[in-house]
Structure 1
């Protein structure tokens, strides 16, 4: 898929953060990997590295939220699967070298970036909670269940990287399906 320079840089930064961590993301390495002149980074991101990381996290956050919303039209299980499939694709496409850049930033040491990543994680939880609530799960339980889903999938992504296998994510998704089915049965 052909993308403009700015978009390639945003997605390249997200991939680098998911692979190396936020502290190891450099503009020089990004320019090299994205195949753009280093000057392009300052042209497109006058705020430098900080601006690029912020935009990368917000962009990835928005893309995942859109996948959840598209899945929502087919029901809660499809929305949950859309969330899990996003990370399955990242893991498989990178040979398990890259995980979730949002989680990487959320656990980093920059408070400003951590706040942005936390907002993104909370937005995923809110979207999933809405999906679950709309499906009939108790609105008091839906936010807790959504938080559990995000935590479980993010943890599974880390295990997949450690084990170099998609099995932890696959097994986590199976258990999430059972949990959601049980919650729907409790209506």
Structure 2
């Protein structure tokens, strides 16, 4: 892994725990082990450029894990998405959350590219989940709505879980979302036979 890739990954990791404002170049250098001068070489646009790259990395990483689960069962994609955040919470002792959400909350008008990068990551997650639902027989419009609901519910439940220091909120939404998704993917009943048949 190159020094640039290590720095991007470290920034995403640190944003999960410290947020955008709480993460500086020094923190990223220390966490990644990259040479000090290399951060200015790879990110001449400064911290905003690094944050955009980190959000793209986090968005792609989570979408890839979700996509790989679709081949098993479209519902597995939803469980993979929820399971990832459960893992993040448990492994960090409930200190880490979503790096995309962390940066979004602190986005400033002078750096609109942060909001754009966050929107792109969230959109990728929704599209990935929707594609999985459609492959399982869910109508496209319904799949898009459900995918938005899944991402929104998981992001909110992750915050609640961090505050409560348990995964009760994530577990609760997983059960509810499973029911919704199952009903959306249930094939319609066959038409009733008539005397003419």
TM-score normalized with structure 1 length: 0.91
**Cross-structure match for 1:180:** 181
Mapped contact 1:108–1:114 kept (Cα < 8 A): no
For structure 1, the residue ranges without an aligned partner over 5 or more in a row are none
Number of aligned residue pairs: give it. Answer: 185
Once the two structures are TM-superposed, the CA of residue 8 in structure 1 deviates from its matched residue by: 2.3
**Cross-structure match for 2:62:** 64
- State the distance in 2 between where 1:108 and 1:60 align: 17
- State the distance in 1 between where 2:183 and 2:131 align: 17
Once the two structures are TM-superposed, the CA of residue 90 in structure 1 deviates from its matched residue by: 1.4
Match of 1:136, SS state, is coil
Mapped contact 2:25–2:39 kept (Cα < 8 A): yes
- State the distance in 1 between where 2:106 and 2:150 align: 21
- State the distance in 1 between where 2:93 and 2:6 align: 20
Match of 1:22, SS state, is coil
**Cross-structure match for 1:99:** 97
Once the two structures are TM-superposed, the CA of residue 7 in structure 1 deviates from its matched residue by: 2.4
- State the distance in 2 between where 1:78 and 1:131 align: 9
- State the distance in 1 between where 2:92 and 2:134 align: 34
Rg: which structure is higher?
2
For 1:3-14, list aligned pairs within 5 A.
Answer: 3-14=1-12
- State the distance in 2 between where 1:7 and 1:89 align: 22
For structure 2, the residue ranges without an aligned partner over 5 or more in a row are 189-197
Moved over 6 A (4+): none
**Cross-structure match for 1:124:** 125
- State the distance in 1 between where 2:6 and 2:172 align: 33
Match of 1:175, SS state, is helix
Q: 1:34 aligns with which of 27, 32, 35?
A: 32
For 1:11-160, list aligned pairs within 5 A.
Answer: 11-110=9-108, 111-160=112-161
- State the distance in 1 between where 2:44 and 2:103 align: 21
- State the distance in 1 between where 2:146 and 2:81 align: 14
Q: Deviations over 1:24-55 (max 9, x none)?
A: 22101221233334312113323221121111
- State the distance in 1 between where 2:45 and 2:84 align: 29
Match of 1:23, SS state, is coil
Structure with greater proportional helix content: 1
